[in-house]
C-alpha cells in the first residue's frame, strides 16, 4: 500500500479468550458486567491476547515506536490493535501517514447528539493489517484527560472489547501515572505488562521511574502488572538509560539510535519498521523481545539514585541545600510576637 488510507474496520471480529478488562472501571462507577474475572498470575500466562501498556514522557517517541512495532507485527502475520490513549490523539498519525483519525470521544459526542449509536467502523481503522483507534480527550480547559480515558474505555467495553480476537493490544499512555485515568491499566490490571520508552535524559527517566514506582505500589496491593522492559529511543550512546534499566532490574528491549535518517523519515510520517528495509531487523528483534518478555517487578530508584545516573555537571550535585530562616523570608529582622494560644494547666 503506497499511501495510507483510513479503511474502516469490519463491524465484527472473531471471538477469542476474554480479554482482561476485569474490574478496571468498577472503581469509577462504570459497568463491568462483561469484563470477566480479575487476572491472577496463572491467568496472565494463559491469556492468548497480550495487552501491553506503553508509557513515556511526552515527545519521547512512544507513537513512533508503537507505529513501527505494530506495523512489523502485522507484517509477521500477527493480529494487532493499537489504541492511542493520549489526549493529543497522535498515536496513529505516523501509521496513517499524517492523516487524522476520528477519536472515540468526539465521535461518541457527535453520535449522541444525533441520537445514533457508535459502531466499530466509526472509530476503528486499519492499514496493512494493523487495526488502530484513538480515544482522544476533552478540549483545552474543558475537562480532565484522565476522565476522558475512562469514558473511552467504557465505550470500548460497550463495543465488545473483551470479545475481540487479537494477538496483541498495544495501549499508548502518557507517562503521568499520578493521574488516575492514565494509571488505570496498572491500577486495575487492564494489561499484563508495561513497557517504558525513555532516552538518555533526566526527565524521560524520571517518568520511567514513576511508572516503575506505580507498578511496584500496586503489586504490593495484590496487582499482577509487571514491567516487561524499556525501549531506548534517540540513543546517543551516553548510557544513562541503559544504566537506569539495569538499576531498576528491567531489560532493554531495543535501542533506537539518534540517527538522521530515522528522524527525517519519522518527521515525514514514514514507517521504517518494514521487512527488508534498513531498520527492519531492529524492529523484528523488538517484536521478538516484546513477545518473549515477562512482566517483572521493578525496583524503582530514589530521587538521589536517579540523579546518580548522571554526571555532576549535568544535574548540579555540588549544590548544598542551605536552610532559609524566618528573617530571610521577611527580608530583615523579625519581631517576636506573643502567642494567642490558650494553655490549660493539667488537672
pLDDT in tens, 209-244: 999 999 999 898 888 999 999 999 999 999 999 999
Q: Does a structural domain hold residue 328?
A: no
Q: Does a structural domain hold residue 346?
A: no
The pLDDT tens digits for 27-61 are 433 333 333 334 344 444 445 889 999 999 888 99
- The arithmetic mean of pLDDT across residues 270-281, rounded, is 95
Helix or strand run (H / E) with residue 228: strand 226-235
Spatial contact of 71 and 1, defined as CB atoms under 8 Å apart: no
Annotated catalytic residues are 57, 62, 88, 176
Q: Does a structural domain hold residue 234?
A: yes
Highest mean pLDDT among 43-52, 71-80, 120-129, 143-152: 71-80
Residue 143, strand partner residues: none
Residue 185 — pLDDT band, cuts 50, 70, 90?
Answer: confident
The pLDDT, as a whole number, for residue 154 is: 80
Q: How many domains, in total, are found in the chain?
A: 1
User: What global pTM score does this model have?
Assistant: 0.78
The pLDDT, as a whole number, for residue 283 is: 97
The most distant pair of C-alpha atoms in the chain lies apart, rounded to whole Å, by: 89
Residue 15 has pLDDT above 60, yes or no: no
C-alpha cell at 203: 526527565
What CATH code is carried by the domain that includes residue 296?
Answer: 3.40.50.300
Domain span holding position 63 = 7-318
The pLDDT, as a whole number, for residue 316 is: 61
Q: Name the residue among 178, 182, 179 with its Cα closest to residue 194.
A: 182
Spatial contact of 206 and 249, defined as CB atoms under 8 Å apart: no
Q: Does a structural domain hold residue 156?
A: yes
Q: How far apart are CA 48 and CA 316, in angstroms?
A: 48
Strand order of the β-sheet with 125-127 is 7-8, 125-127, 130-134, 80-84, 168-174, 50-56, 193-198, 226-235, 252-257
Q: Does a structural domain hold residue 337?
A: no
- Percent above pLDDT 90 for the chain: 45
The pLDDT tens digits for 86-127 are 777 778 889 999 888 888 888 888 988 999 998 999 989 999
Q: Which of 8-22, 67-81, 173-187 has the lowest mean pLDDT?
A: 8-22
- The arithmetic mean of pLDDT across residues 6-16, rounded, is 50
The pLDDT, as a whole number, for residue 211 is: 93
Residue 281 — pLDDT band, cuts 50, 70, 90?
Answer: very high
Query: Is residue 193 classed as helix, strand or coil in its secondary structure?
Result: strand
Q: Name the residue among 264, 211, 258, 214 with its Cα closest to residue 232.
A: 258
Residue 81 has pLDDT above 80, yes or no: yes
Q: Name the residue among 301, 297, 305 with its Cα closest to residue 229.
A: 297
The pLDDT, as a whole number, for residue 146 is: 58
Residue 290 has pLDDT above 70, yes or no: yes
Q: Does a structural domain hold residue 340?
A: no
Q: Does a structural domain hold residue 1?
A: no
Number of helices and strands in the chain (H, E)? 13, 9
Q: Does a structural domain hold residue 338?
A: no
Amino acid at each position: 500500500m503506497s499511501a495510507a488510507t483510513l479503511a474502516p474496520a469490519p463491524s465484527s471480529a472473531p471471538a477469542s479468550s476474554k480479554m482482561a478488562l476485569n474490574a478496571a472501571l468498577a472503581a469509577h462507577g462504570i459497568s463491568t458486567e462483561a469484563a470477566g474475572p480479575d487476572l491472577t498470575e496463572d491467568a496472565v500466562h494463559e491469556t492468548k491476547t497480550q495487552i501491553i501498556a506503553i508509557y513515556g514522557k511526552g515527545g519521547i517517541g512512544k507513537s513512533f515506536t508503537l507505529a513501527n512495532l505494530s506495523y512489523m507485527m502485522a507484517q509477521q502475520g500477527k493480529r494487532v490493535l493499537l489504541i492511542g490513549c493520549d489526549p493529543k490523539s497522535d498515536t496513529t498519525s505516523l501509521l496513517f501517514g499524517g492523516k487524522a483519525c476520528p477519536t472515540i470521544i468526539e465521535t461518541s459526542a457527535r453520535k449522541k447528539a444525533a441520537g445514533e449509536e457508535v459502531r466499530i467502523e466509526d472509530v476503528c481503522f486499519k492499514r496493512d493489517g494493523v487495526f488502530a483507534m484513538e480515544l482522544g480527550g476533552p478540549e483545552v480547559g474543558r475537562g480532565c484527560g484522565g476522565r476522558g480515558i475512562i469514558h473511552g474505555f467504557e465505550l470500548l467495553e460497550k463495543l465488545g472489547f473483551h470479545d475481540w480476537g487479537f494477538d496483541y493490544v498495544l495501549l499508548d499512555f502518557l507517562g503521568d501515572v499520578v493521574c488516575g485515568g492514565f494509571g488505570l491499566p496498572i491500577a486495575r490490571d487492564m494489561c499484563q505488562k508495561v513497557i517504558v520508552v525513555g532516552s538518555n535524559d533526566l526527565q524521560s527517566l524520571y517518568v520511567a521511574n514513576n511508572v516503575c514506582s506505580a507498578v511496584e505500589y500496586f503489586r504490593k496491593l495484590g496487582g499482577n502488572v509487571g514491567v516487561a522492559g524499556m525501549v531506548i529511543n534517540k540513543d546517543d550512546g551516553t548510557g544513562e538509560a541503559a544504566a537506569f534499566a539495569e538499576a531498576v532490574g528491567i531489560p532493554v528491549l531495543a535501542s533506537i539510535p539518534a540517527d538522521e535518517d530515522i528522524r527525517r523519515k519519522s518527521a515525514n510520517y514514514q514507517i521504517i519498521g518494514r521487512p527488508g528495509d534498513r531498520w527492519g531487523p531492529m524492529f523484528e528483534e523488538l517484536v521478538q523481545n516484546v513477545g518473549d518478555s515477562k512482566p517483572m517487578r521493578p525496583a524503582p530508584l530514589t530521587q538521589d539514585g536517579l540523579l546518580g545516573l548522571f554526571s555532576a555537571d549535568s544535574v548540579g550535585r555540588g549544590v548544598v541545600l542551605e536552610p532559609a530562616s524566618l528573617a530571610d523570608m521577611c527580608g530583615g529582622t523579625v519581631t517576636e510576637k506573643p502567642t494567642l494560644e490558650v494553655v490549660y494547666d493539667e488537672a
